[in-house]
Structure 1
Amino acid sequence: MSSSSNWQEPSWFRKLVYDLVLWTFTVIFDCFFREIRPRGAFRLPKSGPIIFVAAPHANQFVDPIVLMGQVKNETGRRISFLIAEKSHKRKFIGLISRSQMSIPVRRAQDCLKPAAGSIKIDPENEFHVFGVDTQFTKVCQTKGLLALPNSWGTAEVGEIVSDTELYLRKPFKFSSPKTADEAKKALESGTAFKTAPRIDQSEVYHKVFEHLAHGHCLGLFSEGGSHDRPDLLPLKAGVAVMALGAMEAHPGCNVKIVPCGMNYFHPHKFRSRAVVEFGMPIEISPELVAKYSNPETSKDAIKELLETITGGLKAVTVTCPDYESLTCVQVARRLYSNNMSKHLSLQSIIEMNRRLLKGYLHYKDEPRIMELKKSILEYNEKLRIFKIPDHLVEGDRNDDTLTIFTRFVTSLVQLVVLGALALPGVILFSPVFIATKVISEKKRREALAASTVKIMARDVIATWKILVSIGFAPLLYIFYSVLGTMLMRKYYVLSDRSAFTIFCSIYLFSAMITYSALIFGDKGMDLLKSIRPLWLALVNKEGLTQLRETRRQLSMEITEVINEYGPQLFPDFNLYDYEKKLELKRLRRQERKKLQLEQLENMDSEDEYEEAKTQRLRKRRAAKRQEREQSGIYAQANESLKAKLTSSVPIISNDNDNNSSVGLSSSSETDFASSGSEYEPDNDSASASKIGLVRDTMIRENRERNEKNEE
């Protein structure tokens, strides 16, 4: 297994194709998504074998390209993804996966075939299966797959007793409660079934071990296939086996695992946004590898590493047990402190969602939280009735009718102008829009029927929209170009060279018109959404006023609840300071890189450069020690200040002006790593944190007041 005789380093040509295809898809994705941002990219190792474990897998073939693009842009490294062999054999998808140096994997569910006879479950033993006119000894294998029709569920075969009797390793796993009811009734009366043989993955593991041993990067979605559930699916053990197996087979191979959170705002929608968050690299200790090498403790080692990876993924993803809870968290984030989240970066919004979700799950059984959830859902229903998004409810509350009418007319005129500019591109590209809608919906229904984990199968929509656009758009432009050239030839005498020039010109013009429609369409859609609340303010001012009052009251209540419970989980409770720290860290990294390059150019030897790095490291450590000593002095000062203040001082006020401070920030990495654990905060530290926030808020307000006076 440790032999690398079959290993071949990818040629320069294959790497060139990888980079070219990835760049092409990056350009295409920049058209589909309005924004894709990395977060925590500074944590990525620049060398050595890495396994990128990404979740949730919410966007089928889009997810790998997005992750590969971000890693290539940040580190210059290439990722080889594991891909289902079924997809690897497809014409277009297979061509792309081969160009991206993917490794195909056979899956049992892709090898299912109908079997003769029918099966029933033993009413007294859910592991015991009886067959009628079946041939279990011929069509089934131990550790093979047994599947029910209509994607109701699957189970793994444990022991085959005879042609008409077998035992399962675990009970049938059903795709949903509704499916479970139907499947159980069918199993009681008898149902058709499918079987798949046991899949030997030794060859795949060997390829993976060699790939990692040569210092390359591997990517996989450990949940298995893509899905559209709001929570993470249980991770497959394969990622742990690959990491531990590679280190066992190649003792000098130090594999690191990087958790990657694929956070989409609306994964299946055109012009949505995404944040790819990278967690702290997980190092695998030699003791864990030794534990894996021992057959008696091998499973324990796999389980231990899998739990660590799961914790790392939960730290970089926003997952929720159901859509209703996720909706509540998102509304709470928008309404917290007068919609302050609209001033935040994408990364901070993701961080805020995560912390609010963690707080909600921790306190969801509290009566006050349950009542607040009910109020949020009622407010959301009112928004649906008014057909207006939340972020447009707040504006124009003090404007008179004339001002609102003026803004309405102005917005309407702007919309007409932008619509006129975008209309030619929309008309030209409309056949592609129609094709993407029809085909993606068809593929969604097919994926839903074939899956046991999908809810609405929205995870395949974006993939097929992009694939259809890639195929249809060039054909459409060619059609327009040929049509235009033929019309020109009909009325003018053209040489072959002139005809070719006209053909290319029309093709480029069609592409430019489409792209301009994309730009103007973005602005136009924002205007279109803003017109409805202006119209409601004119024709139904009382209803809109009541909705705004409901929003204001709900915002106050949400702010009070978060300010009360937030510091109990997260003592460092200040999001504006968090954003400033992020920017400061980024600037410091840039300055260090610039300084290092300048010193490297001015130094005659590598030894001098390494000595300078050592001196800089010592200075940073000394600065950190000094900072810790100063923090001790500040803590004593806070203790003195705490005696003068009451414990009921709010973390932030819910003023209605635009200068309201904010009380939410990123927790430390240890907070995230301990996801799911019970928190027992120190009351003194929480109180000190509150006092520190009051002090910071006063300083910030005084600074803003002075800046206004200077202006």
Structure 2
Amino acid sequence: MYIKVEDTTAVRWFLTSLVSIFFREVETRNSHTVPVRGPVILVCAPHWSQFVDAVLVMSTNRRPIKFLTAAKTMRRRFVGAFSRYLGCIPVERPQDLATKGKGTISAATGATTVVGKDTQFTKDLTPGSGFAVDGHVFKVEKVISDTEAEVRDGPSEGFKDVAFKVYPRLNHDDLYEMVYDALKRGEAIGIFPEGGSHDGSMLLPFKAGVAQMALGAMAAGSPPVRLIPVGLTYFHGHRFRSRAMVEFGDPISIEQDMVEAYRNGGDAKRGAFDKLLKRVQEAVEAVTITAPDYETLKLLWAGRRLYKPENLELSTEQTQQLTIRFSEAYVQLKNEPEVQALRSDLAVYNDALRAAGLHDHEVVQTTVLQESEIFSGVLQKGFLVLIQTVVLIPFMVFGLPILFACRVVSTFKARAAAASSAVKEHGRDVVATWKVLTALMIVPICLVLYSILLGQLIHPRLTGISWCLLPIIMLGSLHLWDHYTDLVKQLRGLLALMISKQQTVELYYQRCKLKRRIRALVNRAADDMGIDRMFDEKDFMGEADHGLELDELLSM
């Protein structure tokens, strides 16, 4: 059952408020590409933050969006209530209905025949259902007997006498009809074509459902459907007060001949499916940042940071675009000896930073200062940190139980998610979600207890006043906390330089050499690839390290 669009305004406002509290900054790029009216499908990726992804997209677009949501989620008491109220469309997933298989199974590497022991394949399996072994699913093509079945693709590594789960074959006709009806009414549908959330650094293969929905809706009489690629980028997105970027790509229109091919069925239908799915995936890849693994992604961030002109403040949008360029260039140049050597040296530099307890920006901000400037900086920032610490102590005390509960619950859920999935590496994709959900449960309880405590300790009238004022004061303290954490980082860098100037200067010298190598490589790569340089030489003029050698830095 659908909810009227106007009825969802309050819930959407509430969810948008949660985004502004959890994230320090959210930037949006090209949101104007989403049509104001008419049927659209927002194709969002990567699905790196479970429930937060959908809320983030909704918060950056005024148009109400009905997201396809796991039916298992819709059955949950709290999240399910919000999902149903927003008119989300339930999707039943085989893994949510999986049952433990009777007996054990074996299969050789690459073999498409699965042999069972004490199994009942004829009862448990049908063509289109599946076996699940250690998170890997094998689609059943044919059930031969109670102890033998054929699968579509054999395992990359054989197994013998292992327990398994049975994934049922599901009929999604009702789901598609709900989507078609929504698109016929000119509504906006949101979908994550990778399926479930994950924390891998690469996009997962897109499922064909997005092509089926677009082509099927138009074949069923919907007005022309446009697909909007949406790229989500998080900068340490599992952390409280981190940053995020949402980029909308150009709309993808569907030609009428593709719809006719879909109607014709057979090979023509499969061809239309494949063609549209390829276009969608390429469009989404153009607005996302990916890397072969998480370590490579971190090194790309480090390279981007060193390349950036130090005298320019980049917006989140510019930072994302720069990272995309680095990612695309790395794919083409990763096998070059110069790039491999640079990657190795970047890893050494990052390890040295961790060993010294410093961040890159702290090395930059402190090394070129005179001793008198360092001393006065320590005094000034130390005084500000002291004053703000005194001001923030009550809120730190109030917030400790909340932060502790969020940390414990999200860590437990992340470990459980990683253990139960073959596509999750560390379970980071569920951390932000569970921090938000835990805070939603804990914060009201803490506010009531704090209000009662203040009323008992000071004056009974403070109970009601505190209940009204504490949320406002705590929200205001978030901005002070952002400034406070920035000050602490700056003070830490100054203290490190004061205590061990030579070590910090050597890191800075190492950084200077890396920076010059990266800029030379980037400029050469841009020229070879025929793309415009993002920055001109004038953008790098006036940087403090220009022409300095180690002895000169040590003598400053």
TM-score where L is the length of structure 2: 0.94
If asked which structure has higher relative contact order (CA below 8 Å, sep 6+), I would say: 2
The answer for the alignment partner of 1:346 in structure 2 is 316
1:214 to 185, 198, 204: 185
Rounded Cα–Cα distance in structure 1 between residues aligned with 2:82 and 2:112: 42
Tell whether the 8 Å contact from 1:425 to 1:513 is kept in structure 2 after alignment: no
The answer for the alignment partner of 1:31 in structure 2 is 21
Match of 2:116, SS? strand
The answer for the alignment partner of 1:135 in structure 2 is 120
Amino acid at match of 2:479: I
Per-residue CA distance 1:583-632 (angstroms, 9 max, x = gap) = xxxxxxxxxxxxxxxxxxxxxxxxxxxxxxxxxxxxxxxxxxxxxxxxxx
Amino acid at match of 1:370: Q
Rounded Cα–Cα distance in structure 2 between residues aligned with 1:144 and 1:192: 17
Q: 1:337 to 1:431 in 2, by over 3 A?
A: closer
Structure 1, unpaired ranges of 5+: 1-7, 174-179, 490-498, 577-650, 661-711
Alignment RMSD (CA, Å): 2.0
1:652 Cα deviation from its structure 2 partner: 6.2
Rounded Cα–Cα distance in structure 2 between residues aligned with 1:482 and 1:36: 35
Rounded Cα–Cα distance in structure 2 between residues aligned with 1:400 and 1:575: 30
Match of 2:48, SS? coil
The answer for the alignment partner of 2:70 in structure 1 is 84
Q: Please identify, of 394-403 and 196-205, the stretch whose mean Cα deviation from structure 2 is larger.
A: 394-403
Tell whether the 8 Å contact from 1:86 to 1:106 is kept in structure 2 after alignment: yes
1:171 Cα deviation from its structure 2 partner: 2.4
The answer for the alignment partner of 1:246 in structure 2 is 217
Amino acid at match of 1:139: D
Q: Please identify, of 316-325 and 53-62, the stretch whose mean Cα deviation from structure 2 is larger.
A: 316-325
Q: 1:214 to 1:516 in 2, by over 3 A?
A: closer
Match of 1:316, SS? coil
1:547 Cα deviation from its structure 2 partner: 0.7
1:213 Cα deviation from its structure 2 partner: 0.8
Rounded Cα–Cα distance in structure 1 between residues aligned with 2:366 and 2:357: 17
1:462-481 equivalence runs, <5 A: 462-481=432-451
Amino acid at match of 1:42: H
The answer for the alignment partner of 2:349 in structure 1 is 379
Rounded Cα–Cα distance in structure 1 between residues aligned with 2:399 and 2:519: 45
Per-residue CA distance 1:156-183 (angstroms, 9 max, x = gap) = 111000000001012247xxxxxx6xxx
Check if 1:389 corresponds to 2:275: no
1:220 Cα deviation from its structure 2 partner: 0.7
The answer for the alignment partner of 2:259 in structure 1 is 289
Q: 1:167 to 1:255 in 2, by over 3 A?
A: same
Amino acid at match of 1:140: L
Rounded Cα–Cα distance in structure 2 between residues aligned with 1:427 and 1:109: 42
Tell whether the 8 Å contact from 2:367 to 2:504 is kept in structure 1 after alignment: no
Q: 1:488 to 1:564 in 2, by over 3 A?
A: closer
Rounded Cα–Cα distance in structure 1 between residues aligned with 2:74 and 2:340: 47
Tell whether the 8 Å contact from 1:426 to 1:517 is kept in structure 2 after alignment: no
2:485 to 501, 525, 549: 525
Amino acid at match of 1:216: E
Q: 1:253 to 1:16 in 2, by over 3 A?
A: closer
Tell whether the 8 Å contact from 1:337 to 1:556 is kept in structure 2 after alignment: no
Check if 1:419 corresponds to 2:381: no
1:59 to 45, 49, 53: 49
2:421 to 446, 451, 460: 451
1:556 Cα deviation from its structure 2 partner: 0.9
The answer for the alignment partner of 2:194 in structure 1 is 223
Per-residue CA distance 1:657-699 (angstroms, 9 max, x = gap) = 3799xxxxxxxxxxxxxxxxxxxxxxxxxxxxxxxxxxxxxxx
Match of 1:126, SS? coil
Tell whether the 8 Å contact from 1:109 to 1:145 is kept in structure 2 after alignment: no
Q: 1:654 to 1:214 in 2, by over 3 A?
A: closer
1:364 Cα deviation from its structure 2 partner: 1.1
Rounded Cα–Cα distance in structure 1 between residues aligned with 2:540 and 2:228: 39
Rounded Cα–Cα distance in structure 2 between residues aligned with 1:215 and 1:345: 34
Rounded Cα–Cα distance in structure 1 between residues aligned with 2:530 and 2:384: 45
Check if 1:504 corresponds to 2:475: no
The answer for the alignment partner of 2:554 in structure 1 is none
1:10 Cα deviation from its structure 2 partner: 4.0
Tell whether the 8 Å contact from 1:428 to 1:514 is kept in structure 2 after alignment: no
The answer for the alignment partner of 1:555 in structure 2 is 515
Match of 1:439, SS? helix
Per-residue CA distance 1:79-127 (angstroms, 9 max, x = gap) = 000000011100001001011110001000111111211111146x521
1:9 Cα deviation from its structure 2 partner: 6.8
- Structure 1 segments (4+ residues) deviating >4 Å: 486-489, 651-656
Rounded Cα–Cα distance in structure 2 between residues aligned with 1:196 and 1:542: 61
Tell whether the 8 Å contact from 2:8 to 2:86 is kept in structure 1 after alignment: yes
Tell whether the 8 Å contact from 2:74 to 2:90 is kept in structure 1 after alignment: yes
1:470 Cα deviation from its structure 2 partner: 0.9
Larger Rg computed on CA atoms: 1
Rounded Cα–Cα distance in structure 2 between residues aligned with 1:229 and 1:301: 29
Match of 2:144, SS? strand
The answer for the alignment partner of 1:116 in structure 2 is 102
Match of 2:543, SS? coil
1:98 to 67, 71, 84: 84
Amino acid at match of 2:137: T
Check if 1:534 corresponds to 2:494: yes
Amino acid at match of 1:137: T
1:172-211 equivalence runs, <5 A: 172=155, 184=158, 187-188=159-160, 190-211=161-182
Tell whether the 8 Å contact from 2:368 to 2:544 is kept in structure 1 after alignment: no
The answer for the alignment partner of 1:154 in structure 2 is 137
Tell whether the 8 Å contact from 2:512 to 2:545 is kept in structure 1 after alignment: no
Per-residue CA distance 1:501-528 (angstroms, 9 max, x = gap) = 6432111232234224322211111111
State the aligned residue count: 545
Amino acid at match of 2:481: G
Q: Please identify, of 133-142 and 327-336, the stretch whose mean Cα deviation from structure 2 is larger.
A: 327-336
Tell whether the 8 Å contact from 2:300 to 2:327 is kept in structure 1 after alignment: yes
Match of 2:26, SS? strand
Amino acid at match of 1:208: V
Tell whether the 8 Å contact from 2:231 to 2:288 is kept in structure 1 after alignment: yes
Q: 1:508 to 1:117 in 2, by over 3 A?
A: same
Per-residue CA distance 1:453-512 (angstroms, 9 max, x = gap) = 0000001000010111111101111122233445568xxxxxxxxx6x643211123223
Match of 1:395, SS? helix
Per-residue CA distance 1:306-337 (angstroms, 9 max, x = gap) = 10001000110111111222122211111115
1:619-634 equivalence runs, <5 A: none
Match of 1:505, SS? helix
Rounded Cα–Cα distance in structure 2 between residues aligned with 1:140 and 1:474: 48
Q: Please identify, of 506-515 and 205-214, the stretch whose mean Cα deviation from structure 2 is larger.
A: 506-515
1:680-691 equivalence runs, <5 A: none
Tell whether the 8 Å contact from 1:108 to 1:196 is kept in structure 2 after alignment: yes
Higher helix fraction: Structure 1 or Structure 2?
1
Rounded Cα–Cα distance in structure 1 between residues aligned with 2:270 and 2:230: 25
Match of 1:343, SS? coil
Rounded Cα–Cα distance in structure 2 between residues aligned with 1:98 and 1:507: 30
Per-residue CA distance 1:33-79 (angstroms, 9 max, x = gap) = 0011110112221111000000001110011111011111xxxx210
TM-score where L is the length of structure 1: 0.74
Tell whether the 8 Å contact from 1:259 to 1:313 is kept in structure 2 after alignment: yes
Per-residue CA distance 1:265-297 (angstroms, 9 max, x = gap) = 111011111110000000000011111122221
The answer for the alignment partner of 1:47 in structure 2 is 37
The answer for the alignment partner of 2:61 in structure 1 is 71
